[in-house]
Amino acid sequence: MTEIRICASIPPMRDRASFDVLVIGSGAAGLAAAVSAERAGASVALATKTTLQACNSAKAQGGIQAAFGDDDSPEIHAEDVMRSSHETANPRLVEVLTSEAPSAIHWLEELGVEFTRQGSAGANGQAHSRAGGYRVARCGGATRHRLLQVGDRTGHAITKALRERYEGGHGVELPHHALRVLAPSDGGWVASFDTKDGSADVEAGAVVLAAGGRCFAEAGERGELSTNHPNATGEVTRIAMAAGAETRDLDALQYHPNGGAWPSTMQGYSIPETTRAYGAVLRNAAGEEFTDSLGPRDAVSAAIVAEVEKGKGVETPDRRPAVWLDTTRISPEDAEISLPYMLRRYRGAGIDPLAEPIYTYPVLHYQNGGLVIDEHAETTLEGVFACGEIAGGTHGRNRMMGNSLLECTVFGRRAGKAAAERGRS
């Protein structure tokens, strides 16, 4: 028995289940696409490798970018993206990303996400109050305060709201369906899955690939730590390539500048970039600040590695390379509002980041490149769409923090709508 739950209104075609739209992956991008496709009137199936909850998106902490400040605009947001990408991002995709950011935030709110509001400004005055009432921080590479947060569990809040909306609709859920092959068919595409009980084929007029990146598998091969969920293994990119899809920048992997380096239970944990947004700075063994702590991610990671190579870093008790992240500069008010989960994790491990600096070192985090898409999120294969980390171009070769959850929402919505139109035609 497979776990396919087919709505009475959706007849099986030959011996296969058939839908207008098949979405692969249940992170923020896949969930946004599935909700959007259903809203557009399509019959939808959402297939995912293990459970619907298992994904990187739910682990995202820091926040999501959108230009709400009086001193900000989608154009300035786009300039920051292009500069951080070293002008390698696709300007048209960036324009879509930043111009639709405010409406994407309102869409998430309509689905039940409650972004932290600017009740009390932190002692550092880091948050701006004139940004639509939201508490916003300035993240690495940004020239304005535009990072909205839900405490430091933003990804959890977004995926929960999207998942509950999808589960409340008529869409079909296919957990424990790992995509193995994608092939063209008369009606669109046929997807073959490995399931708990064997295998299953599903046919769809259009397919949305939202299976995330490959940094968990890549870190395993390199013998390194990763922030990623174990399902981030990248085989769906390879499956799409085998079907003929074009890719870009696949070699450009991103290190998160602030992986937890000690205690051992925090190794591979991504210390939220909002620690630096709220005042934390990087210091070497001599206590000197050696880089702009709010520079673009690749620059900050490279500066940490270079400082260690110069012999100016520190060593963790288990002899790993590291530098200090001086979190003692964060005000308790900012920490309580925007970093409660991080504080709980470290304090639970016996370290109080507000009383002592913490060890940090870059850790493998994000796949910048991926499948080539157009502004409707369609890949170079007709009827196959891609959104989220599996897609390339929006961030070029270096993503800014807070733009991935945004990409999942903006291009997930677009992919779902366009796939519904295609799948129903």
Ligand X SMILES: Cc1cc2nc3c(=O)[nH]c(=O)nc-3n(C[C@H](O)[C@H](O)[C@H](O)COP(=O)(O)OP(=O)(O)OC[C@H]3O[C@@H](n4cnc5c(N)ncnc54)[C@H](O)[C@@H]3O)c2cc1C
Q: How far apart are CA 367 and CA 237, in angstroms?
A: 11
Cα–Cα distance, 78 to 255 (Å, whole number): 22
Tokens read off for 62: 């820091």
Site string for ligand X, 89-128 (x = CB under 6 A): ----------------------------------------
d(CA 118, CA 127): 8
What residues contact residue 302 under an 8 Å CB cut-off, 6+ apart? none
Whole-number Å distance between alpha carbons of 330 and 257: 18
Stretch that binds ligand X, among 1-9, 229-237, 369-377, 414-422 (CB under 6 A): 229-237
Closest approach of ligand X to the CB of residue 241, in Å: 13
List the one residue from 18, 36, 61, 195 that touches ligand X (CB under 6 A).
Answer: 61
- Reading the block at residue 367, the tokens are 């796949």
**Residue 284 or residue 398: which is nearer to ligand X going by CB?**
398
Which H or E element spans position 366?
Answer: strand 358-367
Select 49 or 160, whichever has its Cβ closest to ligand X: 49
Output the smallest distance, CB 25 to ligand X, in A. Answer: 3
User: Is 130 known to be catalytic?
Assistant: no
Q: Does 270 bind ligand X (CB under 6 A)?
A: yes
Q: Based on CB atoms, which residue is closest to ligand X, 37 or 314?
A: 37
Q: Is 22 in the site for ligand X (CB under 6 A)?
A: no
**Which of residues 79, 224, 235, 315 is near ligand X by CB under 6 A?**
235
* Residue 37 · residue 20 · CB < 8 Å: yes
| Cross-strand pairs, 65 | 147
Please state the closest distance from residue 59 (CB atom) to ligand X, in A: 4
Separation in Å, CA 334 to CA 46, 136, 270, 354, 358 = 38, 11, 18, 11, 17
- Report d(CA 258, CA 294) in Å as an integer: 12
Query: Which of 283, 297, 320, 397 does the annotation list as catalytic?
Result: 297
For residues 50, 52, 56 and 62, what is the CA-based torsion angle, rounded to 10 degrees? -160
Find the part of the chain contacting ligand X (CB under 6 A) among 124-132, 223-231, 241-249, 417-425.
Answer: 223-231
Tell me: does residue 30 bind ligand X (CB under 6 A): yes
Is residue 237 within the footprint of ligand X (CB under 6 A)?
Answer: no
Closest by CA to 199, choosing from 173, 183, 178, 184, is 178
The residues in 76-95 that bind ligand X, with binding defined as CB under 6 A, are none
Q: Which residues pair with residue 185 across a beta bridge?
A: 188
Give least dist CB 309 to ligand X, A.
26
State the minimum distance, in angstroms, from the CB of residue 391 to ligand X.
Answer: 8
Please state the φ and ψ torsions of residue 76, each to the nearest 5 degrees: -65, -40
- Of these, 94, 330, 405, 415, which contacts ligand X (CB under 6 A)? 405
Residues 6+ apart with CB under 8 A from 161: 108, 111, 112, 113
Nearer to ligand X, 314 or 325 (CB): 325
Binding residue for ligand X, selected from 157, 211, 253, 381, defined by CB under 6 A: 211
Name the strand (E) or helix (H) holding 181: strand 177-185
Name the one range near ligand X by CB under 6 A: 165-173, 226-234, 285-293, 333-341: 226-234
28 neighbors 162 (Cβ within 8 angstroms):
yes
Q: Which of 241, 306 has the CB closer to ligand X?
A: 241
Q: Which one, 193 or 290, has the nearer CB to ligand X?
A: 193
- 396 forms part of the interface with ligand X (CB under 6 A): no
Enumerate binding residues for ligand X (CB under 6 A). 24-30, 47-50, 54-57, 59-64, 154-155, 178-179, 210-212, 227-228, 231-232, 235-236, 270, 366, 388-390, 401-405, 408
Return the active site residues. 297
